[in-house]
Structure 1
C-alpha cells in the first residue's frame, strides 16, 4: 500500500480533521472508489484483542483470519480494501487524537455533519471516482441520515441505533459496568490536547430517563436512503445485536441487506470433576438401534497436554425423569450406552464394520494436545437398542470422569478421572455433532 498520514480536511466550522489514506501500491492517480471509516478509538491504534477485558471462555472466532497491523478497532482492515482496488481512508473523530475540536462527543448525531463534509471532500479528490462508502461500527448511520450526495452506501459492522435503550439503560435498568468501560478503556476521552471528553457514567446518573440529551445519540435512521449492508453477530446480544437488527428494520432504504452470523459457542468444564450435556426431545416415536458416533471439536486448557473423555447416551421420560436400565452389566442403574477416548490416541484406523469408530491406539500414532488448540475427536458409543416415545428425550453427556455408581459386586474396571487434572476441557459446538442410527418406522402403530 501507499500510505499518506494525517491528510487534513476542513470542516464547515473551520476545525480540521485528519485521516490516514491507504491506496493500492502504484495506483498512479487512477480514479477509484473510497472506503471511509471514522473512529473515536484512534486511527493509528491497531486492533489488539489483548487490550480488551478478558472474559471466561472468550473465543473471538476468527477462524484463521489474520488482520494486518494497520487494522484499527471496529474500523476494518485497509490492506483488504486496497487489495480489492479501493482506497481506504480513516479519520480520527472530532476532538480525538490527531483531529481538531474542543469536545470528543463519541458519535453524537452532530458528528454526522463532520462525516458529511468528509464524504463530500473525498468525492472531489483527484483520484476519487466520486463514490464513497462508509464502514465501521459507529458513525455510518448518523452520516447516512444527512444524505450526503456522494455517499454510495454504508457497511455497518455491529453498532447501535439508540444509546439509551441498547447500551446505557437496557429495559430502563442502568448498566454502569459497560458505561464505565467506555469511560475508562474504549473511548479516547478527549485525547486531543485541551478537548473535553464525555463522562458516560455521569451522563447516566444525571439523565436516568430518555430525554433531549439522549436524543443527541439517537441517529435519525428513518432518513436513511442509501444502500445498507449490515453485519452483526447473534452472539453479541449484550451490546450490538438488538440495535443492529432494529436499525436495519427501521431504515427505509430500498436496497438493504442484513448478515447475521453465530459466534463460536465455547462449552467448558473442569477436567477432573466437571462435565456438560445436551438434550433433544423427540416429537414422535423414534427407535435408535446400533452404534452412535460422537465427533467433538475439542481442546484442553492451560496445564494439560492430554485428556480422557467419558460419554453416555441417556434417556428421560416424558416428565424429564431418568430412565435407568436394570442389571446393566451388573449395574442396577445403567444408561443407554457408553463411550470413552483418550484424546492423544485419537488417530483413526480402518474398521471392517463401517458403523463402528476404531482407533489405532499405537504409540507411533499418539499425538499430544496443545493448550487451547482444537483437535478433532471421534468417539465410538457402544451398540444399544432403545425406543424413545413421543416427548421422551435423549441426553448426551460428556465429562471428565467415568459415569455412575456400580454395585460392590461388580469387578469390572472403572476409569475414574483417568489422567484428567483440574485443567479445563473445552468443546467448540461448531463442527461437533452426534450421529445416531435411527430405525425407520415401517409399521404405523400407536405408542
Structure 2
C-alpha cells in the first residue's frame, strides 16, 4: 500500500533565521491585540481588537497532537473561521524570507499585517469582517507531533479533524472555510474530499491536484527541482519528513503511492470559489483539472491575468471572496449566486488584456476545437492537412535544437480553452524522446510577445526570468511528454485534454513512427489581424525552471528527433478557437432578425443606440449640471473616497493601459484642431460618452468632470493638457516617436483636494489613409484591474464619437 512505499528522512527544528517570524516561537496562551497593533514596522496595523490564542493543542484521530494559532475578533459574537493549512510555519508571515518574496514580486509588505500565514488570509482584514483565522502547524511541523507528508490524503484526514474541532469551539458559529494559494489551495482538494460536516466552503487559489503529473514527474520526466526546494525548505519539525525525491526515483511509474496523492475529486461537493491563471507552470494544469473534475454543484471559476500572490491580496478580489464567504458562512442573501460561474481573462500581451469575461463554462460554449496541421516543407500551420508527407528534424545536441511551425491570422482571433499537440514522431539514435512543446504569440513582424505576471519588472526580475522562473513571466502555453510513457488513460482523457496513464513503458524501435498526444496549459489569447502563432517542438525545456533558484531539468535525449507531417502522418495542433462575437451575446440556438420595415441603414442595435443617446441627452439637459451634481452627490462622495484611498495605497505608483483607434478619411491635425476648439462646448464633450455626467470648462482653463471610473462615479478636475508636464519622464515607456506622432498631449486628473488619481496621454499621428489615435490612461497601481479595463473601453467610445463628430463638422457642405 502507499504508506509502505513512503520514504522518510529526519526533519530539523525551525531555528531563528530566514524563515523565523516574530511569532514563530512556542508560547502557548491567550492575549488581546488592541486596535492599532502593529506586529512590526513594515506591516499594516490591526483595524479592530483581535484575540490571539497561540499554540493551542488539537488532538487528531490517531492521537497525534498539532498546535494552532487562532486569531478572532474580540467580543462574544460567534463567528465563522477560515483555515490556512500548510507546512509553512504559522509565524512565518513576518519572516525575512516571506518579506523578501513580496519585495521580489513587487508587493508592498504594508498590504498585510504579518499575522497571516505565507500565502494565506490576513487576520487584519478578515477579523474586521467578522471572521476568525486558524493558522495550524500541521503534523510533523514546528512543535506538532508526528511525521509530515507532502500533499497527501493524510493531510485531508488531519484537516477534517481540525475543522470539526474548530466548529465545536464556543466562539465559532459552526461554519468553517478554507482559503489560500499554492500549498494552501492543494490541501483544500484533499480536505474537501474527506467531506468534514462543518466545512461550508473552500477557496483554492491556484494549486496542483496530482503530485505525480504536476510536481515530480510532469510528462513522465523526473523534473524535481521545485520538489527539492519544497522538501528541503518547508517541513521544519521534531520528527521525520517525507522524502518525495527518493520516492520519485524508486517509483517512476504511477502506483498506489501516487494515487494516494490525487484527491478524490468526485467527493468534493462543497461550494467552491476557484481561482486560476494561464501562466503558473506549477499550478495551472492542476487547478483547471480539479475545477473540471470536482463534483460541486455550486462552483465558480475566475481566471486572472497575473500571478497568484498579487492577485490574492488585491483589494477588489478579496472583496469578491468575502461576498462568497458571507453567503456560505454567514448565510447572507447577498446575490452571490448571480455571479457568473466562470470569469476568464483573454491575454493580449500588448497592454490590452480582457479580464472577468463572463461565461457559463470553461471553455465557453462558443469555442470550437480546430486542427492546425503541421507542414514539414513550408513549416506552416494550416487548417487543411497536407497531402504529401514531409519531416522536420533536429539534432538534440545541435543549435538549433528545435523545429517550429507558424500561422498568421488575417482577422481577429481569440483562443480560449485547452490546446493539445497530436504528433507523429520518430527517434533516430535513441529508443526514447523527451519532447517539449510551446505555443507562442508573435506580433505581425515575428517578434515573440511576453508579459510579466508580477508588478516588479525591474532588472533582477528580468534576469531571473530570461531562462527560467516562468511563473513570473508568461511566454506561452507549454506541454511535455516522455514518449515511452505515451499510453493514454481512456478514463481520464477527453477530446480536448489527453491524460496519460504513466503505468507502462513503451520504448521505440529503430525507424518506428509513433503517435503521441501532448496536453498544453489552457489559454486565453487574442490575436489581431497580421499577428502570428508559433508552435515550437524541442528536446529541451523551452521555458526553463518554474521557480527562481532551482535546479534545471536535463532531458534524457540523444540523437535526432523527427516530426512527421502530412499524408498518413498528419500531425496537428488543436486550438480552442472562439466564434467571433457580434454585438450582444445570444442564447444558443436563439436569434431575432430584422427582415423589413425601417428604411434607414443599420440594424436593431444601431437604432437602439441612437434612441438611447437621444434619451440620455434629453435627460441630462432637463436635469441640468447642478441637478446632476446634486443627484449624484452621494455616489461622488463614495467614488472620490475610494480613489483617494487607492491613491494613498499606491504611494505614487501608477498602472497604465492603452487603446488604439485607426481612422480613415481624416488627418490628425484636423481632428486635434477641432477638439481643441470644442473644449469650450459642453454639449459636444458630454456627447462623447454616455457616462459623462458633467464636463464643465472653468474660468481658470481647468475642466470639472463627473464621470464613471470603472463602477465608481467620481468628480475630478483636469487642469488642461500639456506637451511636457513635470511627470512626463514617468511615462516615457509609452511615448511614441514624435516624428510619427507629433500631436501629443498629457493631462493629470485630481480630486478637489488635489489628490492625483489619474493621468491621460494622447498621441496622434498620420497614416496613409488617415491617422491613429493612441490613448493611454493611468490609474493608481492599487486600483482593481476592472477600472483600467473599463477606462480603456471608455476611451474607445469617447474618442470614436468625437472623431465621428469632427468628421461630420469638417465634411464639405453639399451643393
With structure 1 as the length reference, what TM-score do the two structures score?
0.62
Q: Distance in 2 between matches of 1:87 and 1:51?
A: 22
Which of 244, 247, 250 is the aligned partner of 2:290?
Answer: 247
Asked whether 1:113 is paired with 2:157, we answer yes
Which of 52, 57, 60 is the aligned partner of 1:11?
Answer: 60
Which of 301, 304, 311 is the aligned partner of 1:258?
Answer: 301
Residue of structure 1 equivalent to 2:259:
215
Residue of structure 2 equivalent to 1:88:
133
Q: Distance in 1 between matches of 2:270 and 2:158?
A: 18
Query: Offset of 1:104 from its aligned partner?
Result: 0.8
Q: Distance in 1 between matches of 2:217 and 2:254?
A: 9
Asked whether 1:226 is paired with 2:474, we answer no
Query: Offset of 1:162 from its aligned partner?
Result: 0.8
Asked whether 1:70 is paired with 2:115, we answer yes
Residue of structure 1 equivalent to 2:578:
none
List alignment gaps of at least 5 residues for structure 1.
271-277, 294-298, 314-334, 340-354, 361-374, 389-393, 397-429, 443-447
1:48-103 per-residue CA deviation (whole Å, 9 max, x = no partner) reads 58548879x963567x97111201112211222211112221211101112111x1
Asked whether 1:281 is paired with 2:529, we answer yes
The verdict on how the C-alpha distance between 1:244 and 1:61 changes in structure 2, with shifts beyond 3 A counting, is farther
Which of 201, 206, 220 is the aligned partner of 1:172?
Answer: 220
Asked whether 1:162 is paired with 2:210, we answer yes
Asked whether 1:337 is paired with 2:715, we answer no
Residue of structure 2 equivalent to 1:37:
84
Where 2:70 maps in the other structure, the secondary structure is strand
Confirm or deny: 8 A CA contact 2:167 2:173 kept in the other structure: yes
The verdict on how the C-alpha distance between 1:66 and 1:384 changes in structure 2, with shifts beyond 3 A counting, is same
Residue of structure 2 equivalent to 1:197:
241
Residue of structure 2 equivalent to 1:153:
201
Query: Offset of 1:180 from its aligned partner?
Result: 2.2
The Cα RMSD (Å) is 4.5
Q: Distance in 1 between matches of 2:220 and 2:83?
A: 34
Residue of structure 2 equivalent to 1:348:
none
Query: Offset of 1:146 from its aligned partner?
Result: 1.1
Confirm or deny: 8 A CA contact 2:140 2:148 kept in the other structure: yes
Which of 280, 290, 293 is the aligned partner of 2:668?
Answer: 290
Within 5 Å, give how 1:275-424 maps onto structure 2.
280-281=528-529, 287=664, 289-290=667-668, 311-312=735-736, 337-338=740-741, 356-358=744-746, 381=763, 383-387=765-769
The verdict on how the C-alpha distance between 1:377 and 1:104 changes in structure 2, with shifts beyond 3 A counting, is same
Confirm or deny: 8 A CA contact 2:71 2:123 kept in the other structure: yes
After superposing the two structures, state which structure 1 stretch, 70-79 or 432-441, moved more. 432-441
Q: Distance in 2 between matches of 1:197 and 1:117?
A: 21
Q: Distance in 2 between matches of 1:61 and 1:280?
A: 32
Residue of structure 1 equivalent to 2:371:
none
Confirm or deny: 8 A CA contact 2:231 2:244 kept in the other structure: yes
Q: Distance in 1 between matches of 2:95 and 2:263?
A: 29
Where 1:213 maps in the other structure, the secondary structure is helix
Residue of structure 2 equivalent to 1:184:
232
Where 1:18 maps in the other structure, the secondary structure is strand
The verdict on how the C-alpha distance between 1:61 and 1:281 changes in structure 2, with shifts beyond 3 A counting, is farther
Which of 179, 200, 207 is the aligned partner of 1:135?
Answer: 179
1:207-254 per-residue CA deviation (whole Å, 9 max, x = no partner) reads 3222222112111111111111222344x4212222112212211111
The verdict on how the C-alpha distance between 1:359 and 1:253 changes in structure 2, with shifts beyond 3 A counting, is closer
Residue of structure 2 equivalent to 1:20:
69
Q: Distance in 1 between matches of 2:251 and 2:148?
A: 19
Query: Offset of 1:2 from its aligned partner?
Result: 0.6
Confirm or deny: 8 A CA contact 2:61 2:161 kept in the other structure: yes
The verdict on how the C-alpha distance between 1:65 and 1:164 changes in structure 2, with shifts beyond 3 A counting, is farther
Confirm or deny: 8 A CA contact 2:105 2:456 kept in the other structure: no
Where 2:745 maps in the other structure, the secondary structure is coil
Confirm or deny: 8 A CA contact 1:336 1:386 kept in the other structure: no
Where 2:127 maps in the other structure, the secondary structure is helix
Q: Distance in 2 between matches of 1:233 and 1:175?
A: 22
Q: Distance in 1 between matches of 2:125 and 2:101?
A: 27
Q: Distance in 2 between matches of 1:310 and 1:81?
A: 39
Q: Distance in 1 between matches of 2:134 and 2:267?
A: 25
List alignment gaps of at least 5 residues for structure 2.
1-49, 307-452, 460-525, 532-661, 673-720, 722-726, 749-756, 775-784, 809-815
Query: Offset of 1:206 from its aligned partner?
Result: 2.6
Confirm or deny: 8 A CA contact 1:96 1:192 kept in the other structure: yes
Query: Offset of 1:105 from its aligned partner?
Result: 0.3
Structure with greater helix percent = 2
**What number of residue pairs does the alignment pair up?**
337
The verdict on how the C-alpha distance between 1:357 and 1:75 changes in structure 2, with shifts beyond 3 A counting, is same
Where 1:166 maps in the other structure, the secondary structure is helix
Structure with greater strand percent = 1
Residue of structure 2 equivalent to 1:46:
93
Q: Distance in 1 between matches of 2:113 and 2:142?
A: 21
Q: Distance in 1 between matches of 2:142 and 2:305?
A: 34
Asked whether 1:144 is paired with 2:192, we answer yes
